[in-house]
Structure 1
Amino acid sequence: MDYNQDRCPVYASFFGAMGCSASIVLTVLGAAYGTAKSSPAIFSSGIIRPDRLMQNTLCAVMAQILAIYGVVSSVIISGDLAEKMALYTGFMQFGAGLSVGLSGLAAGFAIGVVGDSGVRASTQQPRLYFGMVLILIFAEVLALYGTIVSILMLTRARQGVTQCQF
């Protein structure tokens, strides 16, 4: 086996494609969980306080932002996918996809739990709303950290890498 084949195997692009799909699939799962977990509380609080219904949809909106983070990383990864690529690049793309995907999934769980209990509590005591918003921001920023790490990994995925020639 020659030097170029060791660094550029035919399966290298598989890891890039898995990173691309892990990015979008896991963040969408987090967004779906966050929305599904907080929506019953939003609707039940709308019965008690209909004037606060739109205000309480913030948690569902913040959960959907997680999917946008996954789309951004998936688009960046898919733009760099190639049939012949270095194994290092494929691994970096896979790691970047897992970075944004798993952090988005965790943030979605946190947003769902905080949204469920926060909306119910702020319906009974409106002064708790700003505390809920602050905790939601803390949960959302977890996914933002994963997205930043993902973008940093993707910028390093092609720097100083041996070019594949077949």
Structure 2
Amino acid sequence: LGVDPGTLARGARMYAGIARRFDRILTKRGITVIDDYAHNPDKVRAALAAARRLAPRLHALFQPHGFAPARFMLEDLSTAFNDMLREGDTLYVLPIYYAGGTTRKDISSRDIARRLQRCAADVRAPADRDEAVEDVARRAEAGDAVISMGARDPSLPEFAARIAAAIDRAP
């Protein structure tokens, strides 16, 4: 490469990684909270497979990133969650992120959750993020992994941090 090995080593030590690609927060209660950009069926599968390597039980929070993408990917997302989640896991299908525009709002998180009736996991469609945070903080136990997935919404990293903080406060 023509670069001094010491320079390469310093650069590698300084590299912080790619934001929102399996960012992990370890809670005081021994629960790993993960923030990931997964937003389509292939990425959801990959994120859940990686999380499963960390923990036998998963609590997945998925925020669809728009009404048109949710409508377009409904069948494949349903298959991905059905294939990757198992009994004992929980899936929270969060309200769809709306970035504005003139799209048809003819699909909801509840519609997505209804498509997952054959999923072995406990599938929930909370009314809002607060409800999801409270519920996952109450359910998560030491050794579990909680993974927040979604795209386009700049508040998702803060959401993952809120989940970790709520878990730490839970009895």
| Shorter-chain TM-score tier | under 0.3
Provide TM-score, normalisation by structure 1: 0.21
Structure number with greater CO (CA < 8 Å, separation at least 6) is: 1
More helix by share: 1
Pick the structure with greater CA Rg: 1
More strand by share: 2
Provide TM-score, normalisation by structure 2: 0.21
